[in-house]
């Protein structure tokens, strides 16, 4: 683990130097590392311009499992700006927002050949390059009981959204994007879309969206040249239509958030098992049977069960996603449950400890293909079923702008197969707000 510790110490040393270098500035406003810029940041916000810069890094080492012990480091810079058109131009409840991201580094899953279904460094992926991750206009009516958004949007920012305190992808972000990432594009990928939120009452909200489905957006070669542009690439296959009901019940003593959603993708997609003659395509080699449309459902909830509302105490959560088996080329189901506790120690009110367990299930029809191939290749293809992941982290927040989350991950049956050794991964996730 020498390389991993060297990497962590080097990055933590850089963070320490930054802290020392801006100590006087940050004393003005401890929300950000660079402070209030002698009042300029506050003046801009008052005028309707909010600027953000967030750096996130994830280091990982595998003392057990994989083809060899390795260390990897990946990071992301996120540059954001929000323009309040009511303050800037007198327009009612209008906003424009842009986020540009830059991802860099190496992935432990590839470096050490972990063979996992879910990444142990969620920050890695969708190309190590610059991207236009958000570019939208938002308008609200009737005291924001109806809110409309139009532009370049990641699906997971609005549908099935979930926090990303954990480092393992099983427990981070919108779960449907982990199950059907072939057309449900989570952050940092965005596509042209529109979405409307309708507040049915104070406790219930209906959300409906229409998203362009275009595999070009997730091509690294395209992103390397066009990723930061509000481009309209060719290759659109259909529309992704998610619908979600979001309930925040007030009858409960402590706050909770419950989401139920479903989606439909209008694209024509290959059947993963049958060919055009309804025979196993891995045996015949004939073109795949084409299916018009695919769908899925999800359930997500977070419920505080102890402590002070919205402050100290324990939150339990669960995320469950089921996609159709006919067209899912890899996973068709994922379940994740866990608990996060904020303020475990009275002297550390902003620290969070988290523990989670999850399982990712390979589509049974894909597994059937693998068994058929095995009959002709003497068992050279691993027979896949479910991968099981667990993670424990402690989030130390010495300053409001800095969080360090050392974590321990366990992966059982990597790749959904018993061929590979169970894995232990030691990680460190760092978030810094400038």
pLDDT tens column, 125-146: 898 999 999 999 999 999 899 9
The share of the chain scoring above pLDDT 90, in percent, equals 85
Residue pair 176/336 in contact (Cβ under 8 Å)? The answer is no
The 3-state DSSP class for residue 134 equals strand
Residue pair 222/232 in contact (Cβ under 8 Å)? The answer is no
Instruction: Give the whole-angstrom CA distance, residue 428 versus residue 79.
Output: 22
Q: How many beta carbons lie within 10 A of that of residue 115, not counting itself?
A: 21
Residue pair 162/383 in contact (Cβ under 8 Å)? The answer is no
Nearest to 60 by CA among 9, 116, 128, 121: 121
Nearest to 246 by CA among 256, 255, 259: 259
How wide is the angle at C-alpha 391 spanned by C-alphas 73 and 114, nearest 5°? Answer: 50
- DSSP tag of 218: G
Instruction: Give 5's pLDDT tier (boundaries 50, 70, 90).
Output: very low
Q: What is the pLDDT of residue 226?
A: 93
Query: Which one has a higher pLDDT value, 252 or 261?
Result: 261
Residue pair 238/268 in contact (Cβ under 8 Å)? The answer is yes
Query: Which one has a higher pLDDT value, 273 or 93?
Result: 273
Instruction: Give 89's pLDDT tier (boundaries 50, 70, 90).
Output: confident
Residue 22 has pLDDT above 90, yes or no: no
Instruction: Give the whole-angstrom CA distance, residue 409 versus residue 117.
Output: 14
Dihedral pair phi/psi, residue 236, rounded to 5°: -65, 130
Instruction: Give the whole-angstrom CA distance, residue 100 versus residue 80.
Output: 7
Instruction: Give 1's pLDDT tier (boundaries 50, 70, 90).
Output: low
Instruction: Give 379's pLDDT tier (boundaries 50, 70, 90).
Output: low
- Which whole number is the average pLDDT over 10-36? 57
- Which whole number is the average pLDDT over 44-65? 97
Give the rounded distance of the alpha carbon of 102 from its chain centre.
15
pTM of the predicted protein model: 0.91
Residue pair 129/220 in contact (Cβ under 8 Å)? The answer is yes
369: enclosing H helix or E strand? helix 364-377
Dihedral pair phi/psi, residue 216, rounded to 5°: -60, -35
The 3-state DSSP class for residue 12 equals helix
Q: In DSSP terms, which residues pair with 361 in a beta bridge? A: 333, 386
What does the pLDDT look like over 393-403, one tens digit per residue? 999 999 999 99
The share of the chain scoring above pLDDT 70, in percent, equals 93
Q: What is the pLDDT of residue 374?
A: 84
For residue 297, the number of C-alpha atoms closer than 13 Å in the C-beta half-sphere is: 3
Domains assigned to the chain:
57-64+73-433 (2.40.160.180)
């Amino acid at each position: 683990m020498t390389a991993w510790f060297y990497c962590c110490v080097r990055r933590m040393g850089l963070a320490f130097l930054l802290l020392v270098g801006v100590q006087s500035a940050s004393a003005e406003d401890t929300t950000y590392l660079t402070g209030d810029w002698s009042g300029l940041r506050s003046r801009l916000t008052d005028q309707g311009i909010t600027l953000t810069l967030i750096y996130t890094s994830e280091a990982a080492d595998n003392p057990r499992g994989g083809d060899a012990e390795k260390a990897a480091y990946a990071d992301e810079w996120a540059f954001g700006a929000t323009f309040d058109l009511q303050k800037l131009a007198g327009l009612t409840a209008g906003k424009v927002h842009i986020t540009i991201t830059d991802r860099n580094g190496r992935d432990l899953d590839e470096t050490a050949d972990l063979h996992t279904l879910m990444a142990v460094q969620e920050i890695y992926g969708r190309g190590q390059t610059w991207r236009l991750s958000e570019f939208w206009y938002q308008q609200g009516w009737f005291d924001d009981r109806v809110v409309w958004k139009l532009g370049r949007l990641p699906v997971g920012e609005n549908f099935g959204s979930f926090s990303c305190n954990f480092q393992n992808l099983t427990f981070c972000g919108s779960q449907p994007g982990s199950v059907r990432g072939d057309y449900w594009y989570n952050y940092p990928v965005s596509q042209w879309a529109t979405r409307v939120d309708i507040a049915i009452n104070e406790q219930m909200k209906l959300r409906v969206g229409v998203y362009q489905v275009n595999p070009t957006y997730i091509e690294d070669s395209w992103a390397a040249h066009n990723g930061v542009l509000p481009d309209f690439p060719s290759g659109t296959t259909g529309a992704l239509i998610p619908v979600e009901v979001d309930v925040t019940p007030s009858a409960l003593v402590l706050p909770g958030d419950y989401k139920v959603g479903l989606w439909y993708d209008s694209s024509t997609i290959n059947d993963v098992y049958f060919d055009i003659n309804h025979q196993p395509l891995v045996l015949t080699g004939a073109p795949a049977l084409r299916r018009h449309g695919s769908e899925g459902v999800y359930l997500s909830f977070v419920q505080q069960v102890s402590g002070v509302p919205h402050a100290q105490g324990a939150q339990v959560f669960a995320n469950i996603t089921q996609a159709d088996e006919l067209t899912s080329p890899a996973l068709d189901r994922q379940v994740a449950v866990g608990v996060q506790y904020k303020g475990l120690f009275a002297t550390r009110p902003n620290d969070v400890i988290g523990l989670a367990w999850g399982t990712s299930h390979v589509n049974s029809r894909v597994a059937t293909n693998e068994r058929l191939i095995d009959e002709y290749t003497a068992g050279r293809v691993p027979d896949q079923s479910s991968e099981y992941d667990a993670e424990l982290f402690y989030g130390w927040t010495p300053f409001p702008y800095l969080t360090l989350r050392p974590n321990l991950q366990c992966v059982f049956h990597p790749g959904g197969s018993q061929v590979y050794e169970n894995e232990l991964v030691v990680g460190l996730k760092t978030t810094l707000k400038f």
